[in-house]
Structure 1
Amino acid sequence: MSDEESFTRMFQDHYESVLRYAWRRVGPVDAPDITAETFKIAWEKYKRLPREQPLPWLYATARNLTLNLIRRDNRRDALASPLGEGPKYHGAEADHASTVVARQTALAALNSLSEDDRELVLLMSWEGLDLRGAAKVVGCSRPTAAMRLHRVRKRLRRLLGEEPQSVATRQPSCQGNAV
């Protein structure tokens, strides 16, 4: 099979996944451009692409492109702000079902995470990557990703009320208060 045929097959297998990934991060307007640019870069670097599992590489490339887009737009918005223009936000359009308390709580918990921790959780839960693939996308080792994921899950369980806080975090310390 030629490189062109092999790339075409990879494109057909993974286009929808990369498009959904980009859609969730930058919304419907910019997602097709991010996806197209991802596959353009994939074609340019096809000889070095991991053939067995290209999806983590594609997600990492799409992630870098979305971060570049967001940084560019943030710079533009910072310049436009003094001119009285409002900022443009990336992401999904407003969800009319946002009054559902459980969804709000889950989103608040997810948003309380650092950008890298949130990305790790989303790659595994929404994108269906395994720990090794998600670690590649966020640029860390598998053991580091495993530890981060363990801490994130514990924090999310606590924030969602599924795990009681430890006694040490609920009660103030008495150290240093001895008379």
Structure 2
Amino acid sequence: MSDEVGFTSMFEEHYESVLRYAWRRVGPADAADIAAETFKVAWEKYDKVPHAQPLPWLYTTARNLALNLIRRGDRRDALTGSLSELLTSRGTEEDHAVTVASRQAALAALNSLSERDRELVLLMSWEGLDLRQAATVVGCSRSTAAMRLHRIRRRLRHLLVEESQPITDRQPAFGRSVI
């Protein structure tokens, strides 16, 4: 039996089970994507799939993909929360206008980065790549990416802290006071 026939048979027999498993793990919005990605991985690694009982292997693959999706969402939420917390760290209860202003400031800070720096931040925070993987995607060494990330974070902190201060509290340029 050829790989294609064997894979098709496995797909037809187990797709619904994998889809239901993914549905329980990530909900209906992402279940079909997880199931499709599971079978994509199964096709790419077909020689490593235990052909006698592939379902546990498929569930393990679907589980790992679902956990990656959940971690990406958690990191994105944490980044959004951190940026919002930094902007609203003045302590008082915020109203909707402050929340909107905080998000706009965070987006403006992110958009002020160069395309390459923004890509590095988004690959790590939204896509869930580690530093080495993100460095590979943007085409630099891990140490270069680490230095860039350090500088990016420092710049974002500076921009967000500056944005959260009222205009009257900001330091004038070059240390001169403006009267």
User: Which structure is richer in relative contact order (CA contacts within 8 A, separation 6 or more)?
Assistant: 1
Alignment TM-score, normalising by the size of structure 1 = 0.46
Greater helix share, 1 or 2?
2
